Amino acid sequence: MRKRVYDRVHTPGLLRSLFEHVRGREQMLVRGFGHWPLLLVSFPPGGREAADELRESWLHTLPSLQTPEAEPYHRILSRLPVIVVVLLRSRNVCTCLGHHHPMGTESRLARRLAVDAGCEVGEIDLAWESIRDWQPQPLASLASGVTPNSFARLHFRAALLTVLLLHELEHLAFPDREESSVRNASDEFYTYLLGDLLRQEGAPGFGMLR
Ligand SMILES: [Zn+2]
Ligand SMILES: [Zn+2]
């Protein structure tokens, strides 16, 4: 049933109709694989780099993770609505890295999309500058064996994917799960993911930290 709804979503028409409703923001549709939700990333001026990074991590980094540590994301992805709206902001007033928006509190964009596409739509927001500043592993950059610039790039990708997937999307998929358990899972996932990205860059030293 999910699949049939998914196939019915007509992308160009959908984007055209949305464009009229969201002035001053751009929209980017990111398709996934199999049972993954379709992401509609909505970003303000200045948010293009973060949106591109999100798309890259969704389409390339996520599928490249196949070891048992990455297993939880399959369970999350299979429980999500057909479409998830991702509202990008540089920062939140409350300083949070992101939020999931419980049913009934979604933006007009998400509600409109649910009507136009005729399917279930979930919504989260992500604050990309706060995610960039997030330091779950303060010592990692010292031990990583890559340049500070490379480290900053890999950290941003790992942090963005962690907050997206194993935090806000996990809340959407499992609304009753405790914050502390979601937080532990996301911190572990970040450590694993950053280590994986560093290994792909050929950096040896990060394993010492785990
Ligand atoms: Zn908040
Ligand atoms: Zn949370």
- The CA 162 to ligand 2 mean position distance, Å, reads 12
Q: Is residue 165 part of a domain?
A: yes
Q: Which residues surround ligand 1, an ion (CB under 5 A)?
A: 94, 96
Helix axes 148-163, 179-200, angle to 10 degrees: 140
Length of the chain: 210
Domain count, the chain: 1
Q: Identify the pLDDT of residue 30.
A: 95
Q: Identify the pLDDT of residue 1.
A: 33
Residue ranges making up the domain that contains 119: 2-203
Q: Do 210 and 187 touch, CB atoms closer than 8 A?
A: no
Q: Could you count the other beta carbons within 10 Å of the beta carbon of residue 69?
A: 15
- The CA 171 to ligand 2 mean position distance, Å, reads 7
Q: Is residue 210 part of a domain?
A: no
Q: Is residue 185 part of a domain?
A: yes
Q: Identify the pLDDT of residue 165.
A: 86
Q: Is residue 46 part of a domain?
A: yes
The 8 Å CB, 24+ separation contacts for 148-151 are: 150/201
| Among 98, 125, 196, 209, CA closest to 154 | 196
Q: Is residue 124 part of a domain?
A: yes
Q: Is residue 92 part of a domain?
A: yes
In order along its 210 residues, the chain shows pLDDT tens digits of 333 444 445 555 565 556 545 668 899 999 988 889 999 999 999 999 999 999 999 999 988 886 676 777 888 998 999 999 999 999 999 999 999 998 889 998 899 999 988 999 999 999 999 999 998 866 665 566 788 888 899 999 999 999 998 899 999 999 999 999 898 888 888 988 888 888 888 776 454 443
